Structure 1
Amino acid sequence: MDEQLFWGQQQKRVASSLRKEKECERIVNGVCYAFAKSVLGMKISKAAQEVEKSVDTQSHQWTYNHKIVIPYKVGWFSQMKALLWRSWMSILRKPEVTKSKLIIVIVEAFFFSIIYYGQILNQYGIKNLDGVFAFYVTNVTYQNVYGTINTFCSEIPLFTKENKDGMYRTDTYYLSKIICDIPISCVLAMLYPAIGYYFIGFNLEFSRYLTALLIMALVSQTALGAGYIISVILPRLEHADAGINILLFPLLIFGGFFLSIGSVPTYLQWLADLSWFKYGYEMFMINQWYGIPYIQCNTNFSESSDCIFDGAEVLSTASIYPDDFWIAFGCLIILTIAFRVIAFLCLLLRTYRNE
């Protein structure tokens, strides 16, 4: 009997709760309806409709990512200014890195200057200067490619996160990065001939000296572009290290140091055309030997026919022609721009995939 009484009381409580719930719902709906019809409610509704229309008409200012609206915080120029400042400050915050690179370059430049000091324009000098050209182009290439992947690879995760959060665009980040890298890479590359040019005994004309500096700057920028491509495609450092060897080894082979430029097989000519080693080597050779009227023949050469007697003969032996200078110059410019564009497109594709 007590159990029946208990359950009866529970049913009455539930029924009472349901009646109260319905009564509360009726009251709440009445209040909401009254507020919607009030002057304040109608003003709020009208303002909300205007905001919705404004968003629809200005949708080009927003970036859509899986139906989530992500606005950039500031405009293009403000992003560029802030990222340039940040990129430059990241360099200044680590002066020991720049100092170590500078010390290494100076030591290497003086070391090679001592080894090749006072070259004479004779048959031995031709071969020795060939070795200096190979060292300059190869060393600057590896210096810039490795330097790029060591910094760029570590920054990609942070860039991906900040770009996804709408903090800045891909192009502003990339442009700020390459702009800040240009002066340091050019200065470090030009230090090699700046220190060793007259020590070693290159062509004494001052215009040739300035041209040698320009060649090194161009080679460094082309190598820097190749480093960007490797860093974006292979963002993990261990993979990028392997990618360097895969990319650079064939280009180095067809650079003119180990294989004569004129003996490259036709079906591999495209590799030689992509080799900035080749263009840098050609420009150095022309800058050094063009216009040299006489080269000594060493007394211990068995036959005078083995001797090369002037600069034009040095160039023709290497399958290089004076007119190739400006072609090589243009090709380095094209490769420098093309590599950076390719790296940017790869970075842009990477951001879309991450979204």
Structure 2
Amino acid sequence: MLNTVNAQDAKTEADQTPELLCECFKKSDYYSHMATEVDAMYEKFKFEEVKKQTYSYRTSFVTQLGHIGRRAFLNVIRNPRTTTRQVISAIVFSILMGLLYFQIGGEPASAIQDRVGALFVMIMQSNHFCGNTLSTFLTDKIIFIHESRSGFYRTSTFFLAKLFCDLLPLRALHIVMYSAIAYWMIGFKAEFMAYLIFAGNFILTAWATSALYVFLGTFGDNIFDVIPIISPIETIMVMFGGFLININSLLPWLTWLKWFSIIRYSYNTIMANELSGQVFCNPFPDNSTCVSGDVYLNQQGIDSSARGILMNEIALICIAVGLFFLTYVRLRMSRRLK
């Protein structure tokens, strides 16, 4: 019993020791002298601005961009398996689309339906080709944070190098191969200018979709963190794309969502490009039933004029530029916070 009491007293005394030491230190002459010096320093500098630390690089922006761009290009060449799979996938799906809708005819009963279905499926496939861009910055995130914080290069040089040496050219290559095969096999409007508008629209659509995926990819450390975010966004874009439901029949308080649908801008452009000025008539002389593409476009609320097509393409460009800019901002934030 006596040992227990002594142990408790010793424990209580040990707990009070730091407080006693602090009280003794505050009563000492050393504490008074140190407090006087600290107060003097505080009074001297409290109204002065704190200058931000600036970083300087040993190489110029152009030099950094050249080296990082070369490294990004070499990474693509050294990993041909991924690029080869994407190219083969684009060729295979374009041939399948061409066989499925091979040389669609002009019968009034099916001409517009077949074309609308083919165009919408091609938009969805081109978006799926951009799915691998989700990991564009995720795979190099740790390396980027280490190298940029060590002063090797600027955030802007890394971002632009990945953009122009990896992301944009590969997406354009796949889309050009896909559209060049499928367009002529399906039998869309046999005009070279119409094909250029078609291919250009799909390239812009792929770039805008890639910008969305890349931006969303900055919110996670791996792909599985981002997939739950992508699914509802893709669903909204498809629902308000103009294919599943007529935009004019939407409730007024929901129509504003159509302005955020990348699919809608792409769908309106290729629909106007394909159906504008076309009239599909029954080939039999005893039945002169005809269906006008312009009438269908008006019913869907699609502007088929050159200005309407141009505005859709400008919208895709603005979406891509805006999302790429937000991605750059996120990269700068990740560099500082990690």
Q: TM-score, normalised on structure 2?
A: 0.78
Q: 1:350 aligns with which of 329, 334, 337?
A: 334
Query: Is 2:112–2:293's contact at 8 Å kept on the other side of the alignment?
Result: no
CA distance 1:139–1:325, change in 2 (3 Å)? same
Q: Which amino acid aligns with 2:274?
A: Q
Give the corresponding residue for 1:149.
Answer: 134
Give the corresponding residue for 1:129.
Answer: 115
Query: Is 1:136–1:192's contact at 8 Å kept on the other side of the alignment?
Result: no
CA distance 1:61–1:298, change in 2 (3 Å)? farther
Q: 1:318 aligns with which of 300, 304, 309?
A: 300
Q: Which amino acid aligns with 2:318?
A: I
Q: Which amino acid aligns with 1:321?
A: D
Query: Is 2:247–2:255's contact at 8 Å kept on the other side of the alignment?
Result: no
CA distance 1:166–1:320, change in 2 (3 Å)? same
Give the corresponding residue for 2:41.
Answer: none
Q: 1:296 aligns with which of 281, 284, 288?
A: 281
CA distance 1:342–1:270, change in 2 (3 Å)? farther
Q: 2:100 aligns with which of 108, 115, 128?
A: 115
Query: Is 2:135–2:214's contact at 8 Å kept on the other side of the alignment?
Result: no
Residues 135-174 of structure 1 correspond to what in structure 2 (within 5 A)? 135-144=121-130, 146-174=131-159
Give the corresponding residue for 2:254.
Answer: 268
Cα shift at 1:124? 0.8
Q: Which amino acid aligns with 1:309?
A: V
Q: 1:284 aligns with which of 270, 279, 286?
A: 270
Query: Is 1:141–1:220's contact at 8 Å kept on the other side of the alignment?
Result: yes
Give the corresponding residue for 1:185.
Answer: 171
Give the corresponding residue for 1:328.
Answer: 312
Cα shift at 1:165? 1.2
Give the corresponding residue for 2:198.
Answer: 212
Instruction: Report Cα offsets for 1:108-155 as digits up to 9, x if no partner.
Output: 0001100100101233121111111111111111221x2111332111
Residues 170-249 of structure 1 correspond to what in structure 2 (within 5 A)? 170-180=155-165, 181-249=167-235
Moved more, 331-340 or 149-158: 149-158
Greater per-residue helix proportion: 1
Residues 23-172 of structure 1 correspond to what in structure 2 (within 5 A)? 62-63=54-55, 71-122=56-107, 123-144=109-130, 146-172=131-157
Using the alignment, how far apart are the partners of 1:211 and 1:151 within structure 2?
28
Cα shift at 1:81? 0.7
Using the alignment, how far apart are the partners of 2:257 and 2:200 within structure 1?
24
Give the corresponding residue for 2:44.
Answer: none
Query: Is 2:198–2:273's contact at 8 Å kept on the other side of the alignment?
Result: yes
Cα shift at 1:93? 0.4
Q: Which amino acid aligns with 1:267?
A: W
Q: 1:309 aligns with which of 291, 308, 313?
A: 291
Q: Which amino acid aligns with 2:328?
A: F
Q: Which amino acid aligns with 1:334?
A: C
SS at match of 1:334: helix
Q: TM-score, normalised on structure 1?
A: 0.75
Using the alignment, how far apart are the partners of 1:311 and 1:167 within structure 2?
57
Instruction: Report Cα offsets for 1:216-245 as digits up to 9, x if no partner.
Output: 111011011101111112232111222221
Q: Which amino acid aligns with 1:88?
A: F
Moved more, 154-163 or 282-291: 154-163
Which structure's CA Rg is the greater one?
1
Instruction: Report Cα offsets for 1:171-228 as digits up to 9, x if no partner.
Output: 1111111111211101101222210112111111111111111111110110111011
SS at match of 1:258: coil
Cα shift at 1:269? 2.7
The number of residue pairs the alignment matches comes to 282
Using the alignment, how far apart are the partners of 2:158 and 2:256 within structure 1?
32
Q: Which amino acid aligns with 1:333?
A: I
Query: Is 1:121–1:295's contact at 8 Å kept on the other side of the alignment?
Result: yes
RMSD between aligned residues: 2.1
